Amino acid sequence: MDARSKIHHIDDACCFAARDDVTLSIWRAEASPSRVIAQRAVLERTLRLYDRVYSLTAFRAADMSMGQFTDAKLRVEFEKLGKMMDGPLAAHALVIIGTGFIAATVRSASVSMAMVMKQRVNNKVFDDLYTAARWLPTARPEGAKPGEVDAVEALARAMSAELDVRAAASKPTQSVAR
């Protein structure tokens, strides 16, 4: 990770980071209102410095549940996030990790939703985090800055590694009875 890349929030379920005007959000569990607020704080910090934002959001299809769509408090926080990004969001890489019916359905729904958005945003749906991380900086009209593609991928790899460490640490250890 280079000096301009920073992880701003990490817990056992999500990680939010930024490098200049590029923000990355990796989810490994269901969203919660407090986590969406933490994600929004990273975006707000970025918007204080930049007029436009290039954003990546990644989650595993297996972690999705209907609760994410029916929880009123969570819906309010996602609406605040959406309103905040309406205008400054220049490009969005959505990564849905997984295979099977749920992952394919979410990818399809995401593409459909992007097509009807008021604001024309360069949206692209991926099934691989690192491919998406390498694409996002190239979505600028002028293209990626020198070294940026590698730096954003390195940030995504660092975030993923931190989440792996936290997941391994949170697994209960098995003791062998003697």
Q: At 153, which CATH number?
A: 3.40.525
DSSP-based three-state secondary structure for 109: helix
- Res 171: pLDDT: 74
> Can you list the alpha helix ranges (DSSP code H) found in the chain?
33-49, 67-70, 72-85, 101-115, 129-135, 148-170
pLDDT tens for the 178 residues of the chain, in order: 899 999 999 998 899 999 999 999 999 887 888 988 999 999 999 999 999 999 999 987 666 655 555 678 877 877 887 787 788 999 999 898 876 666 666 656 555 555 544 556 788 889 899 999 999 999 999 999 999 999 999 999 999 999 999 988 887 666 555 5
- Res 33: pLDDT: 86
Residue type at 18?
A
| Residue 175 falls inside a structural domain | no
Question: Taking Cα atoms as reference points, which of 70, 6, 78, 7 lies closest to residue 40?
Answer: 78
> How many whole angstroms separate alpha carbon 54 and alpha carbon 97?
20
- Res 97: pLDDT: 81
| Residue 174 falls inside a structural domain | no
Domain that holds residue 40: 5-164
Phi-psi region of 87 (alpha: psi -120 to 50; beta: other; left: phi over 0): left
- Res 99: pLDDT: 67
Tokens read off for 138: 């190239």
Instruction: Print burial letters for 146-166: b (CB count within 10 Å at least 16), e (below 16).
Output: eebbebbbbbbebbbeebeee
| Residue 177 falls inside a structural domain | no
| Residue 59 falls inside a structural domain | yes
| Residue 169 falls inside a structural domain | no
68-72 long-range contacts, CB within 8 A, separation 24+: 68/30, 68/31, 71/33
> How many whole angstroms separate alpha carbon 131 and alpha carbon 93?
10
> How many whole angstroms separate alpha carbon 148 and alpha carbon 145?
5
| Residue 120 falls inside a structural domain | yes
- Res 78: pLDDT: 78
State the total domains in the chain: 1
Question: Terminus-to-terminus CA distance in the chain, angstroms?
Answer: 45
